[in-house]
Amino acid sequence: MKIKTILLALLLVSVAITACQSKSSKSTADASADSLSVTVSDDIMPDISLECTDGTTLQLSSLFGTTLYLDFWATWCPPCCAEIPYLETLYKSLSDNSDIRIISISVDQDRDAWLKKITNDKPAWEQYRISSEDADVFFSAIELETIPRFIIVGPDGRIVNADAPRPSDESCASTILQSLQEID
- pLDDT at res. 184: 64
Question: Is residue 106 within 8 Å of residue 128, measured between CB atoms?
Answer: yes
User: Has residue 5 got a pLDDT over 60?
Assistant: no
> Which amino acid would we find at residue 103?
I
The model's pLDDT over 128-173, given as tens digits with 9 standing for 90+, comes to: 999 777 888 888 888 888 899 999 999 999 999 999 999 999 999 9
Question: 155: burial class by Cβ within 10 Å (0-12, 13-18, 19+)?
Answer: middle
SS3 120: helix
The model's pLDDT over 6-19, given as tens digits with 9 standing for 90+, comes to: 333 333 334 334 43
Band of pLDDT at residue 77, cut at 50, 70 and 90: very high
Band of pLDDT at residue 42, cut at 50, 70 and 90: low
User: Has residue 84 got a pLDDT over 50?
Assistant: yes
Query: Of the candidates 23, 36, 16, 60, which has an alpha carbon nearest to the alpha carbon of residue 137?
Result: 36
Alpha-carbon span 85 to 67, nearest angstrom? 21
Domains of the chain and CATH, by start: 2-183 (3.40.30.10)
Q: What is the pTM of this model?
A: 0.77
User: Has residue 39 got a pLDDT over 50?
Assistant: no
